[in-house]
Structure 1
Amino acid sequence: MNGRFEWHELPADVRRAVQDRAGLVRNAANASVGRNSAFAASLDTTDGQVFCKGGRTDSPQAVMHRNEAEVNPFLPEELAPRLLWQVERDGWLLLGFEHVPGRYADLSPGSPDLPLVAKTVGKISSITPPVGRRVIADHWRAALSNETADGWAIRAPQHMRGSTLVHSDLNPLNVLVADTARVVDWAWWRTGAAWIDPAFMVVRLVAEGHEPAQAEEWAAQFDGFRKAPGEAITAFAASLVCLWERKFAGTPATEAARRWFEHRKANGPRLP
């Protein structure tokens, strides 16, 4: 995110409230990636390290930080960093997370990270999220309501209902690998069908050099994806192209979604 605040630029009372929870801050190293937080930094404090992120409560991003705070209690420790505290003061909302080691996941063909990532994706699909909250099918239907470019895309929402936790943004920068793979940035979590996160992973794998058929083979290790109707997967791929072209045209992920959809059209089910 451009224009991210430095620690010393936060209001004094906000910094004081954070230090009441985290300990005296000796050093703050801003995160080098990410776009949804006005402040995001690793804080070295007298009580240890903590990762702190957030922004102003009157910003559009505030709801994303509240989303993360809501879902965190449902996430096992081996899957995601613990939310240690929240500070809301003087128009700012900041979240303090357990500081975990790791590097960004390598999703390229043959990477030793792939089995660790697979284990983590499987854990996500085993979690029961807050019931009836943030239904991805409803969100997709609203987002595609004016979309008429492709007959496949508008069919996606009817296949997306379910009770599984969906992270929905499993890009390599959100997966930290050490001895295990842990997932961060849960701002976009939803509830939906069990095949959705594995399907998102297909796009990420294609973007990192896998052929679409290889990526689908990787995703087929998950029951949800393997048993999903072919038309559901094709419609989802089409919907990603439509939605991502609006905001992320020309990015590797959008081009990967397009390649995958073209593969599905050539090798999958036809429109009735």
Structure 2
Amino acid sequence: MSIRLDWQDLPMDVRAAVQDHAGPVIGAESASVGRNSAFAATLTTQDGLVFCKGGRSDGPQAVMHRNEAAVNPFLPEELAPHLLWRVEQDGWLLLGFQYVAGRHADLSPGSPDLPLVAAAIKKISDITPPPVPQRAIADHWQTALGNGATSEWAERAPQYMCGSTLVHSDLNPLNILVADAAHVVDWAWWRTGAAWIDPAFVVVRLVAEGHQPSHAEEWAAQFDGFREAPSKAITAFAASLVCLWERKFADTDTTKAARRWAEHRCG
């Protein structure tokens, strides 16, 4: 992503269109994290705070923002911020969300956030996904792996990922805001698939935060989908994460955690 724009960097007519929905903006604080939006900021208006994100409507990020807008009506407000309005003006697409206060989730061993995160994951698995075609994560995974799978285990992953459960697919601490409950944000990558997939994604994050792989799997076993999944499905998924992430993020803590988990599974 290029350098994130400030509120005053947006074209005047785009800012006017936002204010037609949100009211006069008297302050704007750009988000310090995230990489999927050219503009992302908390706007202070006369009626309170609104979180606004978006980018060029003809750019590669627009697909992600449209994905997020499509799934939002299906998400309960106690789980995810409600989409308040959508602006398309002069080649820009901006989404305005209910502001949710909170800090990023702590996934370290013994964290009091872990039960709240578990409750959020269970809520996600109970949601009926929107009837949007071509959102199967198995197909996406197969395309992403292509012919570059580095092991037989990685090649097998897509065949185990089919299902009809809503999958967030990016449950990292930056996308989970914790206050009295855990709220899940940034739904740009939602898909449909097997019920074990979101818990499995969190296993990697737990390992990255200091959990032993076996303990992380024990935590994930509280979810029926993960507990009942074929062992070889989880092993194949762990191997495929290493394959995919090493291509672009080889030296990150998360990729190192994926390697540790895959080695644990294949050891």
Instruction: Please report the TM-score for the alignment, with normalisation by the length of structure 2.
Output: 0.98
Query: Which residue is 1:233 aligned to?
Result: 234
Query: Which residue is 2:106 aligned to?
Result: 106
Q: Give 5+ residue unaligned stretches, structure 1.
A: 267-272
SS in 1 for 2:152: coil
Q: Give 5+ residue unaligned stretches, structure 2.
A: none
Q: What is the 5 A alignment of 1:113-262? A: 113-131=113-131, 132-262=133-263
Amino acid of the structure 1 residue aligned with 2:92: W
Q: Is the 8 A contact 2:142 2:158 kept in 1?
A: yes
Instruction: State the number of aligned residues.
Output: 266
Please give the alpha-carbon distance, in whole angstroms, between the structure 2 residues aligned to 1:79 and 1:264.
32
Report percent identity of matched pairs. 76
- TM-superposition CA deviations, 1:174-218 (whole Å, max 9, x none): 000000000000000000000000000000000000000000000
Query: Which residue is 2:71 aligned to?
Result: 71
Q: Is the 8 A contact 1:79 1:183 kept in 2?
A: yes
TM-aligned CA deviation for residue 149 of structure 1: 1.5
TM-aligned CA deviation for residue 79 of structure 1: 0.5
Q: Is the 8 A contact 2:104 2:178 kept in 1?
A: yes
Please give the alpha-carbon distance, in whole angstroms, between the structure 2 residues aligned to 1:68 and 1:148.
29
Query: Which residue is 1:23 aligned to?
Result: 23
Q: Is the 8 A contact 1:133 1:191 kept in 2?
A: no
- TM-superposition CA deviations, 1:154-179 (whole Å, max 9, x none): 10000000000000000000000000
Q: Is the 8 A contact 2:204 2:258 kept in 1?
A: yes
Does 122-131 or 33-42 show the bigger shift? 122-131
Please give the alpha-carbon distance, in whole angstroms, between the structure 1 residues aligned to 2:112 and 2:134.
35
Please give the alpha-carbon distance, in whole angstroms, between the structure 1 residues aligned to 2:128 and 2:249.
31
TM-aligned CA deviation for residue 2 of structure 1: 4.6
Query: Which residue is 1:270 aligned to?
Result: none
SS in 2 for 1:173: helix
Q: Is the 8 A contact 2:37 2:54 kept in 1?
A: yes
SS in 2 for 1:134: coil
Does 246-255 or 203-212 show the bigger shift? 246-255
Please give the alpha-carbon distance, in whole angstroms, between the structure 1 residues aligned to 2:74 and 2:149.
37
Which 4+ runs in 1 deviate beyond 4 A? none
Q: Is the 8 A contact 1:160 1:193 kept in 2?
A: yes
SS in 2 for 1:152: helix
Please give the alpha-carbon distance, in whole angstroms, between the structure 2 residues aligned to 1:148 and 1:205.
24
Please give the alpha-carbon distance, in whole angstroms, between the structure 1 residues aligned to 2:213 and 2:183.
25
Amino acid of the structure 2 residue aligned with 1:59: G
